[in-house]
Amino acid sequence: MLWIALILAVLAFAALAFRGLGFLAWLVAAGVWLLGWRLAGVEHPHLFAASCAVLALLALVAGVPPLRRQLVSRWVLPVFARVLPRLGATERIALEAGTVWWDGDLFGGMPDWDKLLAFAPAPLSAEEQAFIDGPVDELCRRLDDWAVYQQRDLPPEIWQYIKEQRFLGMIIPKEHGGLGFSAIGHSRVVTRIATRSITAAVTIMVPNSLGPGELLLHYGSEEQKRRHLERLARGEEIPCFALTGPEAGSDAAATQSEGIVEKRIVDGVEVIGLRLNWKKRYITLAPVATLIGLAFRLKDPNRLIGEVEDRGITCALIPRATPGIEIGLRHDPMGVPFMNGPIVGRDVFVPLDEAVIGGRAQIGNGWRMLMESLAAGRSISLPALSIGAAQMCTRICGAYATVREQFDTPIGRFEGIEEPLARIAGLTWLMTAARTLTCGALDAGEKPAVPGNICKAYLTECMRQVVSDAMDIRAGSAIQRGPRNPLARAWDAVPIGITVEGANILTRTMMIYGQGAIRCHPFVQKEIDAVAQRDLAAFDRAIFGHLNLFCTRLVRAKLLAWTGSRLAAAPATHDTHRYFQHLSRFAAAFTILSDTAMGTLGGSLKRREKLSGRLADALAWLYLASATLKRYHDESKTRSNFALTRWATELALYRIQEALVGVLDNLPVRPVATLLRWTIFPLGARFRPPSDRLGGEVARDILEDREARRTLTADVFVPPADEPGLGALEAALDKAVRALPIETKLRDAVRAGRLDRAPGYMLDELGVEAGVISGEEYDLLNEARDARDEVIAVDAFDAARYKTLH
């Protein structure tokens, strides 16, 4: 009976803890054990009575918060005050920027998959689709990206068209003269243009991201909105935002740009204004900007506007023509000719009430403005650009690997080409899925800061991989610059996406996990706030909630590890059910490993950037896998879509596993790391990258399934057939596909001995002479071969022309 009671107690504890009911699990388990002990008639009644008394006391302490606070929490709070990181004002603002969304479910270790699948991202509106099919495609038709590179700027007529069609006002509401597009509409426009011209995409992207328009919308006074927004929407004002300086790159809050409050007589009137001095660099659109957004530290040494001298980071709008501004020089970012350059201000005077965004009420709130705006901007701009590059690579390589032949075989049939083709297709599917989910959250009213950082860092990294693979597949033709080779220009732009809006090293090691660990965790921020305020009741609720979280997720991770994730609740999807279960297992494992790292390292964890970077990897791939499964759930369940989903999800599971193993290998407290390894990976690290067989299936789909290739590259602008590059390649693919059955006839005739083996055109002629193919078929073959020769050709220039190239 006693053994039965023990087994029942363990089962009761495991069942309740697995569902997140930690306190109840302990209570029921102890009760079952004591009841079994009693029924078994075990002697030692005094020991039994003492055990009951201890259990009752523990239940009373743990279950009655006022008593628990006095007996436990009041002693624990000072310990936590020494261990928990102290947050400065700028850190707190950065951490509190945006909202917590699906990332909170992942951090909590028990993601509600039904909630995710029930979420319906808003589709493109009819107006947005019409804009893409109309002005966007027209802009793409007018663009000649090679000519843009040579001229080092967009042509004047392109600038004019962009302004007339209000491309620069996509985020500005209609009542202020803009287009009022959704996040997904904005993203899809930028993606389509990026497949045609990175320069044009960046030019349009920046005014619709962090900058004067975004800041005015959310924080500007009504007078400032009236004065500026319609002019920005119409392109009558070209905005830029000056944030980065020589002394303040990643640490933008350390800016030495300064504005001193002072009085001056202007046109006979006394004006309280700002005397501004700054040095900024890497500012996109600066050389042509007419309205400058500026982040600076405002100081009031003469106490003209209050009793505080240092008022903090503030944002202002300054017309280009204001005396003291040095502007117009250009940087050359990797040769990509979008407008980018430095701005210097020396003793620039502007009226305070007109210049400061939001007026005096927003003085000192600049850092909050920037962080909250970046939470949205990072979700859209660079991810859209990255997806454009990835989809273009998919489109080009799928066609090229079919058209290009070696050893009388399309190169896509070789396994060495299959491998990078599968990566290109699988990562493109995943990237587009993450964009759809994150923009859907933005359109639903969220400001998903951590998912936005994930999209910025990991989608640009995926772009780096995809473009690199595409360059490998195109081989020699990829490194010859010219109008035939759009890949080279994408390659030039890759480091820009990696670097700007928070370099990926910083974003990965500090922002994703650093912000997520506090902002997205169910209890950590509550604990920090309670300790800072010495609020014992709030601390008590947070610390015991955290304890329950850790204990229950520990049990959950252990049981899921031992059962191959089969106990995890998951949506009733017959084809992806197991993937949801595995992600549930890793979410629980991530939670306990994250809590252990924070608990054993305390505030020093933020300096252990290798560990925090691996934890960021695990969180990011959990999010990317969630987006992948969500996309498959929402879209057509075709065979090719399923293959892409399997490939992307299996890659994500492998990356999560490797990130968790990396943390376990490097946790400083080795006994704790060993215990956690037995909990999380009791049977070893068993997940593997996508198999060669699955990769081959994905690669064949983009080679043979034209509909699958079109779905995967839906945002790509396809130029006319007579244009070198993608346009000619698409036309050559069509001809190659029509010629394929005829080539098969000839090969069959060679194998049957009816024709002698011969190369290319000679075999065609032998086939006609032998009656294997008709004259009409012979003409189709010649058309296909001519088109193939055209698209595998590369550009060459005479000496005089070569000297003028950029």
Which residues are identified as catalytic?
A: 501
C-beta separation of 232 from 206 below 8 A: no
DSSP for 643-706 reads HHHHHHHHHHHHHHHHHHHHHHHH-SSHHHHHHHHHHH-TT-----PPPHHHHHHHHHHHHH-H
3-state secondary structure of 370: helix
Taking the C-alpha atoms of 764, 766, 768 and 769 in order, what is their torsion angle to the nearest 10 degrees?
A: 160
Which of 240, 241, 243, 274 has the alpha carbon at shortest distance from 256?
A: 243
Query: Cα–Cα distance between 483 and 419 in angstroms, integer?
Result: 28
Listed in sequence order, the residues at least 6 apart from 751 whose beta carbon sits closer than 8 Å to its beta carbon are: none
334: left (phi over 0), alpha (psi -120 to 50) or beta: left
Listed in sequence order, the residues at least 6 apart from 507 whose beta carbon sits closer than 8 Å to its beta carbon are: 453, 456, 457
CB atoms within 10 A of CB 533: 10
Residue 706: HSE in the Cβ half-sphere, 13 Å Cα cutoff: 6
Which of 512, 576, 502 has the alpha carbon at shortest distance from 249?
A: 502
Tokens of 74: 């009041």
Report residue 269: phi and psi, to 5°.
Answer: -120, 135
Tokens of 532: 């800072």
Q: Residue holding tokens 């497949």?
A: 195
Q: Residue holding tokens 């923009």?
A: 439
Residue 462: HSE in the Cβ half-sphere, 13 Å Cα cutoff: 37
C-beta separation of 720 from 443 below 8 A: no
Query: Cα–Cα distance between 350 and 74 in angstroms, integer?
Result: 53
C-beta separation of 204 from 151 below 8 A: no
Task: Return the axis-axis angle of helices 212-219 and 366-403, rounded to nearest 10°.
Answer: 130
Report the DSSP beta bridge partners of residue 167. Answer: none
Which of 753, 748, 750, 744 has the alpha carbon at shortest distance from 781?
A: 744
Query: Cα–Cα distance between 723 and 555 in angstroms, integer?
Result: 61
Report the DSSP beta bridge partners of residue 312. Answer: 298
Q: Residue holding tokens 């969500």?
A: 630
C-beta separation of 473 from 420 below 8 A: yes
Listed in sequence order, the residues at least 6 apart from 683 whose beta carbon sits closer than 8 Å to its beta carbon are: 561, 562
The dihedral sign for the CA sequence 720, 726, 731, 737: negative
Tokens of 226: 């009236």
Which residue type, as a one-letter code, is found at position 20? G
Tokens of 669: 């407290």
Query: Cα–Cα distance between 284 and 339 in angstroms, integer?
Result: 6
Query: Cα–Cα distance between 757 and 407 in angstroms, integer?
Result: 12
Residue 669 to residues 155, 160, 553, 615, 618: CA-CA distances in angstroms?
61, 62, 20, 17, 20
Which of 102, 163, 166, 81 has the alpha carbon at shortest distance from 131?
A: 166
C-beta separation of 232 from 291 below 8 A: yes
Report the DSSP beta bridge partners of residue 707. Answer: none
Listed in sequence order, the residues at least 6 apart from 608 whose beta carbon sits closer than 8 Å to its beta carbon are: 597, 601
Tokens of 428: 């493109």
